[in-house]
Amino acid sequence: MDFVQVSEEEGDEPIELPAEEDGTLLLSTLQAQFPGSCGLKYRNMDTKAVRGVRSNEGRLFPPSVDSSWGEYIYFCVFPKGIAHFRSSAAQIDSPYRPILPPVENKRKSDDNLENSTAKTKRIETRLRCTDLIVLGLPWKTTEDSLREYFESYGEVLMAQIKKDVKSGQSKGFGFVRFGSYEAQMRVLSNRHLIDGRWCEVKVPNSKGMGHQVPCKVFVGRCTEDINSDDLREYFSKFGEVTDVFIPRPFRAFSFVTFLDPDVAQSLCGEDHIIKGVSVHVSNAAPKAEQNRSHQGQNFNYNSGNNFGMHSYHHQGNHMNSGRSGHHRGNNQHNAHGSGDNPTIGNSHSNIGSGGYGMGGNNFGGNSGGGYNNSGSHNSGGNMNRQDGGMPYNRQNNYHGMNQPHNGNVGSGGWMNQQNRGHLDMPNLQALGINPQGSSSSNQGQNMNNPLGVGLNLNSLPMNPALVAAALNQWSLLGNQLQNQNQDQQGGNFLSWVAQNSGHSNASNMNNCGGRKGSNNPNSGSAGMIKGDNSGCNDQQNGNSGWSNQSSGSNSVDKSNFL
Partner DNA sequence: GTTGAGCGTT
Interface contacts to DNA, rule CB under 7 A: 130-131, 133, 135-139, 158, 160, 162, 165, 169-173, 175, 197, 202, 204-207
CB 173 → DNA: shortest distance, Å?
4
Report in angstroms how near the CB of residue 137 gets to DNA at its nearest. Answer: 5
State which residue, 202 or 318, has the beta carbon closest to DNA. 202
Count each helix (H run) and each strand (E run) in the chain, helices first: 16, 18
CB of 196 to DNA, least distance (A): 9
393: nearest Cα among 469, 461, 315, 487: 487
| Cβ closest to DNA, residue 168 vs residue 369 | 168
Give the strand pairing for 73-77 and 3-7.
parallel
Name the residue nearer to DNA (CB basis): 48 or 248.
248
Closest to DNA by CB, 228 or 486: 228
Cβ proximity to DNA: between 160 and 180 the closer is 160
Nearest distance, CB of residue 204 and DNA, angstroms: 3
User: CB atoms < 10 A from the CB of 302, how many?
Assistant: 16
406: left (phi over 0), alpha (psi -120 to 50) or beta: beta
* Minimum distance, C-beta of residue 199 to DNA, in the bound complex (Å): 8
Residue 387's nearest CA partner among 349, 350, 420, 342 is: 420
User: Does the CA dihedral 552-554-558-561 come out positive or negative?
Assistant: positive
Spatial CA neighbour of 476 closest among 516, 522, 521: 522
Q: CB of residue 424 vs DNA: minimum separation in angstroms?
A: 21
d(C-alpha 346, C-alpha 225), whole Å: 46
Q: Min. distance of Cβ 302 from DNA in angstroms?
A: 33
Of 169 and 338, the one with the shorter C-beta distance to DNA is 169
Alpha-carbon distance values, 451 to 66, 382, 385, 455 (Å):
51, 14, 12, 10
Of the two residues 131 and 240, which places its CB atom closer to DNA in the complex?
131
- How long, in residues, is the chain? 562
Measured CA distances, 506 to 46, 448, 469, 502 (Å): 53, 11, 12, 12
Residue with Cβ nearer DNA (127 or 469): 127
CA–CA separation, 472 and 470 (whole Å): 5
In whole angstroms, the minimum distance from the beta carbon of 176 to DNA comes to: 9
* Rounded Cα gap, residues 282 and 255, in angstroms: 10
d(CA 295, CA 109): 32
Partners of 15 in the β-ladder: 6
Nearer to DNA, 197 or 272 (CB): 197
Strands 192-194 and 271-274 turn out to be: unpaired
Nearest-approach distance from CB 165 to DNA, in angstroms: 7
